[in-house]
Amino acid sequence: MKYLKFLLAGIFFGIVLAKAEIISWYRIYEMFRFDAFHMYGVIGSAVVLGIITVQLIKRSKMKDMYGAPITFNPKDMSIPRYLFGGILFGLGWAMVGSCPGPMFILLGYGYLPILVVIAGAILGTYVYGLMRSKLPH
């Protein structure tokens, strides 16, 4: 039961991203070419509402459903980590047109080759773990 709500939230999330075509390789390509407003509208409106949501949570000191305070962990400041990591991520995002969420949703769509992408992403995560101490952070 504890996990059912997360399953339902995931189903909801999967349907939203699928129905808005965010999981389409073409939409990501189109976004990086600045040929359509769609993706900017999606991310922009999510962020604007997200900022309002986070501010309301912080100001009202809202608690989660278990009564624990909802906390936000400030990220450690660094430029190379976010810039280099971000650039590598962006290269992959534009290449296979899917970030981690859409990879899972596309699996549900029945596109079997996405399994290779997911395997690559897990491998990339593992190799990062191995190389972590040698990278600038």
Q: CA-CA distance, 69 to 66, in Å (whole number)? A: 9
CB of 61 to other proteins, least distance (A): 13
Burial class (CB in 10 A: 0-12, 13-18, 19+), 121: middle
**Is 35 a binder of other proteins (CB under 8 A)?**
yes
Query: According to CB under 8 A, which residues from 109 to 128 bind other proteins?
Result: 109-114, 116-128
Overall size of the chain counted in residues: 137
Question: Does position 59 bind other proteins by CB under 8 A?
Answer: no
Q: Which of 47, 60, 61, 134 binds other proteins (CB under 8 A)?
A: 47
The residue to which tokens 């991520």 are assigned: 89
Asked whether position 60 contacts other proteins by CB under 8 A, the answer is: no
